Amino acid sequence: MSPLWTSAEIAAATGGQASADFECNGVAFDSREIGPGDLFFAMKGEQADGHRFVAQAFASGASGAVVSSPVDGPHVLVPDTMRALEQLGIASRARVTAKVIGVTGSAGKTGTKEALYAALERCNPGKAHRSVKSYNNHVGVPLSLSRMPRETEYGVFEMGMNHAQEIAALTRFVRPHIAIVTTIAPAHIENLGSEEAIADAKGEIFEGLEPDGTAIIPFDSRHYARLRAKAEQHAARIISFGFNQGADVRCIDHLASANGGSLVTAQLPGAMLQYELSQPGDHWVSNSLAVLAAVQAAGADLAVAGLALADMGGLKGRGARHRVRVAGGEALLIDESYNANPASMAATLTGLGNARAERRIAVLGAMKELGEQSAMFHTELKQPIEAANVNMLLLVGEEMAPLAKALAGDVAWAGKFAHCASVAEASQRLRSEVRGGDAILIKGSNSVGLSAVVEDMLGGGD
């Protein structure tokens, strides 16, 4: 295979000056992620200047660097390394003939991106590319684009936002042929003010659609009409997905499967597909419908995509399931520690309620960026918690205080919950409470740090 980039191509894309000829097969801006043959971008951030780590990058095997000040070693000198990364991403997108798919939404975008990548990679092994981790912002998107091999046939890119107009900028880098909105929920409502504003911000993804592009939108959302009106301004085709009659890609039936996932029957335009979905929960059934809509729109094999959905493993921090050794046997640990908003909290609590277990324990961290409605949204978690038949509840974060107060006033919750002062306290309390046969859900916004609770539990076995 040809190299990902040559120094001449990097210089041409960025308008920079190459100090020497070199080739690279990867791109990174974190020196800790550099491997042999990678290109290192020396980015200047608020906390650190990447130029301080150029020597470390070369010691780790970097074949070259993009810098704004001359350094020892092969490099391309540019005025602004952030702008150069954007330009390299733009050049990468311009040189491929791949079908490019963009994914956004208030919840489920990373899982949908990973499932779609798994489906397309299964259809064309070695020819699919996607953004890794949650590289979905103004740095992560151009980085993910710059990593796309020139031989790519399918590219899948996640786009996120905290404010209006952020996705509008990202989608113009990605220029998707197919754009997906997974769902609309009150994530980042503190910054945007209303769910309608969130829908508008997510709908910005359609602004970058290529001519003859396809928009894929959630039919069951109460913001469906708003999203469709936005899509009609930019898309040649609009495909809806959901459970309700009228959706273009619709779940006809689904039931729990023996492996803890779902058996799904879906109706698509001109096709019907029965498949097993490894991930549990109605929200994953919905995600899978969006995936199938995109697979069909991209002209890939639906049956092969169905096989990929059956084989897909859980994602770290986003639904990965572990069996951990505890007093009295084993417990099921559901790791949802990476993110949380009211919609995803309710969905994963439903999943906990459906888990086969003698007892159910939930360790829930605060949901961030909910603004003036934070107290209401946290208090309203009481209903899905009770519906999931949670036997022990550990709350973390000051935003959980309104929920703790509501539970303290309910005699049925006496002795069954605790509002922990720290993650460490929650971890210690969980260790003392859990026993064989339990199912444990750990979920909260990433900044709460509940991943430490997961790591502590996994230290006892996986």
What are the tokens at 32?
A: 């800790």
Fold type of domain 96-311: UDP-N-acetylmuramoyl-L-alanine:D-glutamate ligase (3.40.1190)
Residue 37 backbone class (left: φ over 0; alpha: ψ -120 to 50; beta: rest) = left
| Amino acid found at 396 | V
Give the lowest-confidence range in 255-259, 272-276, 353-357: 255-259
Residue ranges of domains in the chain = 5-79, 96-311, 320-458
Q: Distance between CA atoms of 382 and 338, rounded to whole angstroms?
A: 21
The answer to whether residue 154 scores a pLDDT higher than 50 is yes
Going by C-alpha positions, the residue among 207, 248, 246 that lies closest to residue 227 is 207
Q: What is the pLDDT of residues 338-382, one digit of tens each?
A: 889 998 899 899 989 988 899 999 999 999 989 999 999 999 999
Same fold, 5-79 and 320-458: no
Q: How many CA atoms lie within 13 A of 4 on its CB side?
A: 22
- pTM for this structure? 0.83
CATH superfamily of 5-79: MurE/MurF, N-terminal domain (3.40.1390.10)
DSSP 300-360: --HHHHHHHHHHPPPPTTTTEEEEEEETTEEEEEEEETT---HHHHHHHHHHHHHS--SEE
Q: Is the separation of the CB atoms in 256 and 272 below 8 Å?
A: no
Fold type of domain 320-458: Protein-Tyrosine Phosphatase; Chain A (3.90.190)
| Amino acid found at 77 | L
Give the lowest-confidence range in 315-324, 347-356, 409-418, 437-446: 315-324
